[in-house]
Structure 1
Amino acid sequence: MATISGNLICKIFYDLILCFATFLPFFILALVGSPYRRGFFCGDESIRYPVRSSTVSSSELYMVSTVLILLIIIGTEYYRLPRMVRGQQALKQYSWTLYHILILFAFGATASVSITSVAKYTVGRLRPHFLALCRPNITCEGRSPVEYIENYVCTYENSDARMSFFSGHSSWAAYTAVFISMYLQSRLRCPKLVLLKSLLQSLAFYLALYTALTRISDYKHHPSDVGVGLIVGGLTAYCTVKWAADDLKLTTWGCLTQRQNPEDNALIQENNRSSYSAIESEEQ
């Protein structure tokens, strides 16, 4: 029993290490990174917008989306519990299934954040309010509109003004919307709840689209930044659910179901053996 419990702890620790590894690029760039420094054209009207506060702040975005996802997943998995399962057995089944789904969501989410961060620091695109935020020590009076200014100093230096591409808000919103929609499509199959499922899926996309559009109206991003963010976030969620989670097809204990490919079966069985054995042994 001690060995099985030890293996179970090792598996959870291993999962958390992998999630941290996908988050590592963001962590490193945030600590020591500096966005690519590019110049600007005097006649570029796209970077002359005023500074405005965010309609949807980062803290609001992450808090609201995380809470909604937790509520939907917790409620859905509770509804899916077999009615004949009660007591300690039900708690183990419920907890382990939740763990598998949430760790897969976390893995994809950290990957999405890291991809966004790498793009922001590598490209260094100027935000629509760059001039108002940077306040360069030179003016474009008497200069040609097509003159490219590189030698300047921001009197109010702010590296965030160079991180327009691509939109992190849009990427995160799209990731959560696509993930939760695919999750509901896979896990909530009761015919009586078809309209509720469709409503939740629609609501997720409505909120994601609203969040993305506010980044344009708040002059935080160019339209192309928002479009790319939506695409990247959606693709990250799709790949996470399709490939890492195998369409969220889980067994009674939350482990991924077997695939037809024998090699894939061996990998899945090896990855889940410790957790499955630990739970089964306690039931005997």
Structure 2
Amino acid sequence: MRCASARFLRHAFDLLLYTSVAAALALTLLGVVNPASTKISCDDPSIRMPYSGDTITVTMLIVVTLIVPFFVMTIVEWAVPPSGQGSPPLREGLSRSWSYTGDIFVGGLFMFFLNDLAKTTVSEPRPHFWDTCRPNITAEQCRQPFVILSWRDCTNPLKQSHPRLIDSMKSFPSGHASLSVFSSIFMMVYIKQRIWGRSSRLLAPWIQLLWAVWTLYCCQSRIADNRHHWWDVLAGGILGAVSSFLTVRLFSVILFSFCKSFVCYYYVNIIFALLDIYLVYILPYIYFQLFYIT
């Protein structure tokens, strides 16, 4: 009875902590906590891009970050049971995949809170800031090297809601990049531990490649949609990679359930994931920006 009470109190306390983080995140996302003042230059072409919406919507991002991993891990847990066990029923596979999805949710929640806290604090204008905000400033102010603005200076020509309007001042770092990289690296590590060497030699790399392609497409779309600068995507990706590392290292049971040591090819996974997702992509993009855009 005492053990049951202690377990209940522990779960209740955990729920309270999760709820507090989710509530704080909601305050920033809904615009209850507004971003700090931002500094712009009227002649800066990087904030005068047209607003074109999102290729990867928030709904699509959540589906690929949480729901798709759950179904993938359910199939893996049912079809490829842990070593030393017989073929488990679907119920056991669902239980394990639900636990791993919880790891993604909790780690992603804390990571995204830090991401949006940085957005609100840094208050960097997005590439479409001028198109969305159209600040009410004079020609004399524009002759100054920099102008300090808040969301109250926006004329809001597109008639955006308040959360969307202040979102034009929350470019750094990219939330899409951080979430997509976070879930992709988590799933790459999971696939490595659960499938590699236990079935087709190419199945695990093929699935990992799909996650890498998804992340590349998501990150590239944020730049192509004029929603982020390239450094926002890079910073968001680094935040997602570090958060995924901490989630797997300190929170998730993936490694410790199926491996006898923490190494378990994890560092190899991280190195190749970062090389595939960033270095091969970011360096050519930086080169293109520096030498081909005048």
Q: Which runs of 5+ in 1 are unaligned?
A: 260-284
Q: Which amino acid aligns with 1:196?
A: L
| Aligned counterparts of 2:145 and 2:249: Cα–Cα separation in 1 | 48
Q: Map of 1:131-150 to 2, 5 A cutoff?
A: 131-140=130-139, 143-144=142-143, 147-150=145-148
- Corresponding position of 2:50: 50
In structure 1, the residue corresponding to 2:37 is in which secondary structure? coil
| Aligned counterparts of 1:243 and 1:164: Cα–Cα separation in 2 | 29
- Corresponding position of 1:26: 25
Residues 203 and 25 of structure 1, relative CA distance in 2, 3 Å threshold: same
Q: Map of 1:107-122 to 2, 5 A cutoff?
A: 107-122=106-121
| Aligned counterparts of 1:199 and 1:183: Cα–Cα separation in 2 | 14
Indicate the percent of aligned positions where both proteins have the same amino acid.
26
Verify the 8 A CA contact 2:41 2:142 in the aligned structure 1: no
- Corresponding position of 1:207: 214
Match of 2:177 among 170, 189, 201: 170
- Corresponding position of 1:62: 62
Match of 2:190 among 183, 186, 189: 183
1:73-97 CA distance string (max 9 Å, x none): 11111124366466xxx56744543
Verify the 8 A CA contact 2:119 2:172 in the aligned structure 1: yes
TM-score (norm 2): 0.74
Verify the 8 A CA contact 1:170 1:229 in the aligned structure 2: yes
| Aligned counterparts of 1:55 and 1:139: Cα–Cα separation in 2 | 34
- Corresponding position of 1:273: none
| Aligned counterparts of 2:53 and 2:92: Cα–Cα separation in 1 | 45
The answer to which of 37-46 and 119-128 deviates more is 37-46
Q: Displacement of 1:237 after TM fit?
A: 0.6
- Corresponding position of 1:240: 247
- Corresponding position of 2:274: none
Verify the 8 A CA contact 1:49 1:219 in the aligned structure 2: yes
* RMSD (Å), alpha carbons: 3.0
Q: Which has the larger radius of gyration?
A: 1
Q: Which amino acid aligns with 2:178?
A: S
Verify the 8 A CA contact 2:74 2:94 in the aligned structure 1: no
Q: Map of 1:72-151 to 2, 5 A cutoff?
A: 72-81=72-81, 84=86, 90=89, 93-140=92-139, 143-144=142-143, 147-150=145-148
| Aligned counterparts of 2:14 and 2:91: Cα–Cα separation in 1 | 19
**Count of matched residue positions in the alignment of Structure 1 and Structure 2:** 250
Q: Which amino acid aligns with 1:218?
A: D
| Aligned counterparts of 2:67 and 2:185: Cα–Cα separation in 1 | 16
Q: Displacement of 1:232 after TM fit?
A: 0.6
Q: Which amino acid aligns with 1:122?
A: T
1:230 aligned to 2:230? no
Q: Displacement of 1:135 after TM fit?
A: 1.2
Residues 98 and 79 of structure 1, relative CA distance in 2, 3 Å threshold: same
In structure 2, the residue corresponding to 1:109 is in which secondary structure? helix
1:1-21 CA distance string (max 9 Å, x none): x66665655554454444334
| Aligned counterparts of 1:170 and 1:101: Cα–Cα separation in 2 | 21
Q: Which runs of 5+ in 2 are unaligned?
A: 157-161, 263-294
Q: Displacement of 1:214 after TM fit?
A: 0.6
The answer to which of 216-225 and 30-39 deviates more is 30-39
Verify the 8 A CA contact 2:36 2:121 in the aligned structure 1: yes
| Aligned counterparts of 2:142 and 2:92: Cα–Cα separation in 1 | 70
- Corresponding position of 1:250: 257
Task: Work out which structure has the larger RCO, using CA pairs closer than 8 Å and 6 or more positions apart in sequence.
Answer: 1
| Aligned counterparts of 2:199 and 2:104: Cα–Cα separation in 1 | 27
TM-score (norm 1): 0.76
| Aligned counterparts of 1:209 and 1:231: Cα–Cα separation in 2 | 14
The answer to which of 98-107 and 168-177 deviates more is 98-107
1:37 aligned to 2:37? yes
Verify the 8 A CA contact 1:18 1:107 in the aligned structure 2: no
Q: Which amino acid aligns with 1:241?
A: V
| Aligned counterparts of 1:41 and 1:175: Cα–Cα separation in 2 | 34
Q: Displacement of 1:209 after TM fit?
A: 1.1
Q: Displacement of 1:257 after TM fit?
A: 8.2
Q: Which amino acid aligns with 2:168?
A: A
